Amino acid sequence: MIAKKLKIMTAGHMHLILNHFPIVGLIVGLGVLAYGMFSKSLDIKKVGLGVIVVMALIAIPAYLTGEEAEELVEHLPGISDHDIHEHEELAEKAVIMMAILGSMALFALYAFWKKMKVAKTMTMITLVFGLITFGVFAKVGNLGGKIRHTELSDEKTPTTQGVLRQDDDDDDD
């Protein structure tokens, strides 16, 4: 039964499932890392770095399944090619940043394991770069949400019939 359900799952479905992990998981990993640094707990720092590495790995299939997700929605009424393009362009930059961040976190873990003096500095750099990366991923997620959730768009609002219309800011009372 489960195998049958998994067979009907497309890359588009996988994109919708996976795309939340790099955003939510990254902020959790960064929070754990920051707490580990504040409490001076090596074990907690390692957990935070490990979460960041895992989120970097999950970001890869989230990005790679985006193209099929696009194909599923690009011809639907009310879908903006501009929103899709913006999301896709920023997602490309974000996944590169996440790969760099994951590599940094992995190196920091290695530095701790080998008791290298650079471990503490590398952890701080990872935290700062991670916060920047999180900001980019949050923007990617917001842009992705605008593709199907037109209520998030600044330019369009949904009507009760589901047809999109331009906002009218006039107060003609």
Look at the domain 12-150 and name its fold: Four Helix Bundle (Hemerythrin (Met), subunit A) (1.20.120)
Can you tell me the distance from the alpha carbon of 11 to that of 72, in angstroms, rounded to the nearest whole number? 10
13: its two tokens: 């479905």
Over residues 90-114, the pLDDT tens digits come to 999 999 999 999 999 999 999 999 9
Give residue 154's pLDDT.
Answer: 63
Can you tell me the distance from the alpha carbon of 122 to that of 172, in angstroms, rounded to the nearest whole number? 59
Over residues 8-64, the pLDDT tens digits come to 678 778 888 899 999 999 999 999 999 999 999 999 999 999 999 999 999 999 999
30: its two tokens: 């960064």
Angle at 13 between CA 9 and CA 19, to 5 degrees: 140
Q: What is this structure's pTM?
A: 0.80
For the four alpha carbons of 58, 61, 63 and 65, in that order, the dihedral sign comes to: negative
Helices (H) and strands (E) in the chain, counts: 7, 2
For the four alpha carbons of 108, 112, 115 and 117, in that order, the dihedral sign comes to: positive
In which residue are the tokens 């994951």 written? 102
Answer whether 107's CB lies under 8 Å from 56's CB: no
Q: Is the per-residue pLDDT at 157 higher than 70? A: no
Among the listed residues 53, 6, 67, 63, the one whose alpha carbon sits nearest the alpha carbon of residue 25: 53
Strand extents, DSSP E, the chain: 156-158, 164-166
User: Over the chain, what is the mean pLDDT?
Assistant: 85
Can you tell me the distance from the alpha carbon of 158 to that of 2, in angstroms, rounded to the nearest whole number? 36
Q: How confident is residue 6, by pLDDT bands cut at 50, 70 and 90? A: low
Among the listed residues 139, 140, 137, the one whose alpha carbon sits nearest the alpha carbon of residue 27: 137
